Amino acid sequence: MDRACHDAGQVVTRQANHMARLLDDLLDVARITRGRIVLRKESVDLRATARSAIEALGPMMAERGTELMTDISDEPIPVFGDPTRLPQIHANLLSNAAKYSPPGARVRFELRREGADAMIRVSDSGRGIDRELLPQIFDLFVQGQPTLDRSDGGLGIGLTLLRSLVQLHDGRADAESDGPGLGSVLTVRLPLESATTSAGTTTKAGWPRVRTVVVVEDQPDARQMMQLMLETDGVTVFPAANGEAGLELIERTHPELALVDLGLPVMSGFELARRVRDNADNATTRLVAVSGYGQDSDIQAALDAGFDEHLTKPADPARIEQLLKGQPA
C-alpha cells in the first residue's frame, strides 16, 4: 500500500509539473502577443546562458537517457538581451529536441559566431517534421502527427514561444527536416552586440555612486528595515510614509536614488513619479519602484509613469547594492 501511494504521488507530481509548464508557456505567449513582455536588456555572453539552461535540463535529459553533445565556442558571444529570457531560448530548443526524440537518442547543441550573428543550433534524430508542415511549425498550436500513446504531450506552443522570444531579441528562428522519422534541426540567430547596439538602447547607463536615498514606504517595519540596510552601507536616508511627503523630500534633497512604493496614501507612487519627472531639476534622481505587484503589465505601468526600474517585493538585497553602486538595470 505504501509503495502504491508513493508511486501515485509521483505520478500526480509529474503531471502537476507538466501542467504548470504548459500554463507558464501559455501565459508567456499571451503576454507576448499582447505586447506585455518587458525585456530588461544588458550585455550577456550567450555561453553563460547556454550552460545555465543545459544544467537546468540535465535531470530531464538524464531521465530520458538523452545523450547531449555540445560544441560551444571558446570565444565570448556577446548579445544585448534579457538574461532571464535568453536561457528560455536555449532550454526551449533542447527540451523540444529531447521530447521528440526516442529515449537514449543523441542531441547536438552548437553555439558559435557566424558573421554578425550568434548562431544556436540544436540537431536531433527524432520524429522529424513533415515537409508540408515546416512553413507553419512555429505557429500557435501547430503539431506534427502525434504518437499513438500521445507520450509526447504538449499543445504546440513551445516553438511559438521560442520564435516570439527570438524576435523580441531582433533575431530569427528556422527549422529543417528531411521528413518524418529523420530528425530535425532548429537554428536561432541573434545579432551580436556592438557598441552602437548597447549605446542606442541603454538610456541611462553610468549613474553616479549613491550617497543619499529617499525611501517612500507606508509600512513602518518595511521602511525601517530598508533604512537600516541602506545606512549600513554608509548612505544618508530620508524616509517618508506617504507620496506627498516623499515628493517634498525628493524636491528638497535631490537624492541620487529614490525607492518608492506604488500603493501609497495621499499620493500614489505613480503620481509621485510623474511629478518628479515634470521637474527638470530632478533629472539626476534615479527613480525605482518597489512593489508587491510584479506582472509584466505592472512593470510597464511603472516605467510609463517615469520610473527607471521596477523591483518586486521583497527587493533583492544584491540588486539594491548594485543600485547604490550606480549600476544599470
Q: What is the pLDDT of residue 231?
A: 87
Give the residue-averaged pLDDT of 126-147.
Answer: 69
CATH 3.30.565.10 is the classification of domain 2-200: yes
Q: What is the pLDDT of residue 24?
A: 53
Question: Over pLDDT 90: what percentage of the chain?
Answer: 42
Q: What is the pLDDT of residue 68?
A: 95
The answer, yes or no, to whether residue 156 has pLDDT greater than 90, is no
Give the residue-averaged pLDDT of 59-83.
Answer: 92
Least confident of 17-21, 230-234, 322-326: 17-21
Q: How far apart are CA 329 and CA 313, in angstroms?
A: 16
Residue 49 β-bridge partners: none
Tell the CATH topology of 212-324: Rossmann fold (3.40.50)
Which position has the higher pLDDT, 218 or 138? 218
Which position has the higher pLDDT, 205 or 64? 64
Residues 164, 165, 166, 167, CA torsion sign: positive
Kindly provide the b/e burial profile for residues 6-22, where b requires at least 16 CB atoms within 10 angstroms of the residue's own CB. eeeeeeeeeeeeeeeee
Q: How far apart are CA 198 and CA 195, in angstroms?
A: 6
Q: What grid cell was written down for 188?
A: 536561432
Collapsing DSSP to helix, strand or coil, 212 comes out as strand
Residue 288 β-bridge partners: 259, 309
Give the residue-averaged pLDDT of 292-321.
Answer: 87
Give the residue-averaged pLDDT of 67-76.
Answer: 94
Give the residue-averaged pLDDT of 153-170.
Answer: 74
The answer, yes or no, to whether residue 289 has pLDDT greater than 90, is yes
The answer, yes or no, to whether residue 89 has pLDDT greater than 90, is yes
Give the residue-averaged pLDDT of 104-123.
Answer: 95
Q: How far apart are CA 289 and CA 261, in angstroms?
A: 6
Upstream peptide bond of 265 is cis (omega within 30 degrees of 0): no
Asked whether the beta carbons of 159 and 111 are under 8 A apart, the reply is no
Segments of the chain assigned to CATH 3.40.50.2300: 212-324
Question: Over pLDDT 70: what percentage of the chain?
Answer: 77
What are the φ and ψ backbone dihedral angles of 248, each rounded to 5 degrees?
A: -60, -40
Using left for φ > 0, alpha for ψ between -120 and 50, and beta otherwise, residue 141 falls in left
What mean pLDDT is reported for the chain? 81
What does the pLDDT look like over 271-282, one tens digit per residue?
999 999 988 888
pLDDT band at 3 (very low <50, low <70, confident <90, very high): low
Q: What grid cell was written down for 193?
A: 552586440
What does the pLDDT look like over 36-53, one tens digit per residue?
466 778 888 999 999 989
The answer, yes or no, to whether residue 96 has pLDDT greater than 80, is yes
Q: What is the pLDDT of residue 290?
A: 94
Cα–Cα distances (Å) from 324 to 232, 280, 328, in that order, read 12, 22, 10
Give the residue-averaged pLDDT of 91-118.
Answer: 92
Using left for φ > 0, alpha for ψ between -120 and 50, and beta otherwise, residue 234 falls in left
Least confident of 31-40, 183-192, 237-246, 280-289: 31-40
| Contacts for 153 with CB less than 8 Å, ≥ 6 apart | 18, 99
The answer, yes or no, to whether residue 200 has pLDDT greater than 60, is no
Residues 192, 196, 202, 208, CA torsion sign: positive
143: nearest Cα among 163, 125, 121, 160:
160
| Contacts for 117 with CB less than 8 Å, ≥ 6 apart | 171, 189, 190, 191, 192
Q: What is the pLDDT of residue 328?
A: 67
pLDDT band at 288 (very low <50, low <70, confident <90, very high): very high
DSSP state of 125: -
Give the residue-averaged pLDDT of 73-83.
Answer: 91
Segments of the chain assigned to CATH 3.30.565.10: 2-200
Least confident of 103-107, 144-148, 241-245: 144-148
Q: What is the pLDDT of residue 185?
A: 95
Q: How far apart are CA 132 and CA 144, in angstroms?
A: 10
Q: What is the secondary structure of 239-303 as a DSSP string? A: EESSHHHHHHHHHHH--SEEEEESS-SSS-HHHHHHHHHH-GGGTTPEEEEEES--SHHHHHHHH
